[in-house]
Chain A
């Protein structure tokens, strides 16, 4: 016997919508980070590149965690 999800299907759709909104927001943040970093790089300012890259990798990890949670809802 397979265990049933603790959320109803309509609840899962709501959760998925919320996660989609958060992930989209994080991707837009990454886009902003990239454009700001490119501007700094072309202007010869290498000081911000490291912290910006760390923040972007952190955003990627957050996104992957949210995706993992989303797939975990199916089990």
Chain B
């Protein structure tokens, strides 16, 4: 009987190059398990790297209090870009109504495209993949983003809008 159970005489090439199927399967599975080890190691190292970065971030001092704009320079329904702290990615300041200012990181939490304000609809819109965030809270309400926009904590002091910190959120 031939190895493929077809019967008949064994072809000449099988006698020259015999294949031991159980041995071949054993080696293939064993080698694949071995191949998965670096993958597993990479995930473990990545986790430890996240712990290290989280520790670095928590040890670093927060950004200083900084003036963003004069209240009189920000019209109701208007928006402006600013850097806080200086050199960081753009932040977006929006005056929702006479007494309410909101400010968020301008990068969409999906793939970091810049979000644009649609104040009349009470939304921030990411044009790349049609992600939509609620203007007053920064929470995602449509599209692919799952995390809210990082919020810049604001205060109004002596006629100035003042940034006092940054709040990244998961929900």
Contact = CB atoms under 8 A, between A and B. Distances in A.
A57 B170 contact: no
A43 B147 contact: yes
Report the contact-size class of chain A (Cβ under 8 Å from the partner).
35 or more
A67 B26 contact: no
A11 B29 CA distance: 13
25 contacts: A9-B23, A10-B22, A13-B22, A13-B26, A16-B26, A16-B29, A16-B30, A20-B29, A23-B36, A37-B47, A39-B147, A39-B170, A43-B171, A44-B168, A46-B55, A46-B57, A46-B58, A49-B47, A49-B51, A50-B51, A53-B47, A56-B43, A60-B41, A60-B43, A63-B36
Contacts of B103: none
Given A38-B50, A40-B170, A67-B37, A30 B44 contact: yes
Q: Is the interface of B mostly helix, strand, loop or mixed?
A: helix
Contacts of B40: 23, 26-27, 30, 59-60, 63
Interface string A5-39: 00001101100110110011011001101100111
Contacts of B57: 46
A9 B23 CA distance: 7
B169 interface: yes
Interface of B: 22-23, 25-26, 29-30, 32-34, 36-37, 39-41, 43-44, 46-48, 50-51, 53-55, 57-58, 109, 146-148, 150, 167-171
A34 B47 contact: yes
A59 B33 CA distance: 14
Given A45-B170, A64-B37, A71 B30 contact: yes
A43 B170 contact: yes
Nearest to A8: B22
Contact of B150 (A12, A30, A44, A56): A44
